[in-house]
Structure 1
Amino acid sequence: MENVVRVQTDDIGRMDPNELEKQIIEVKKSGRVPLMVMASAGTTVLGTFDQLDLISDICKKHNVWMHTDVSDSFTGIIRNWDYPPLSNSVAWNFHKWSAVPIQCSAFVVNQKGLMEKCNATSAEYLFQPDKFYDTSYDIGDKTIQCGRRVDVLKLWLMWKARGDKGLGEVVDRSFENAGYLLKKLKTTEGFKLVYPEFQCTNISFWYIPPRLRGKPETPEWWAEIGKVAPKIKERMMMSGSCMIQYQPLSSKGFVNFFRVIVENPALWTC
Structure 2
Amino acid sequence: MADSKPLRTLDGDPVAVEALLQDVFGIVVDEAILKGTSASEKVCEWKEPEELKQLLDLELQSQGESREQILERCRTVIHYSVKTGHPRFFNQLFSGLDPHALAGRIITESLNTSQYTYEIAPVFVLMEEEVLKKLRALVGWNSGDGVFCPGGSISNMYAMNLARFQRYPDCKQRGLRALPPLALFTSKECHYSITKGAAFLGLGTDSVRV
Using the size of structure 1 for normalisation, the TM-score is: 0.21
**1 or 2, which has the higher strand percentage?**
1
Using the size of structure 2 for normalisation, the TM-score is: 0.25
Bigger Rg, which one: 2
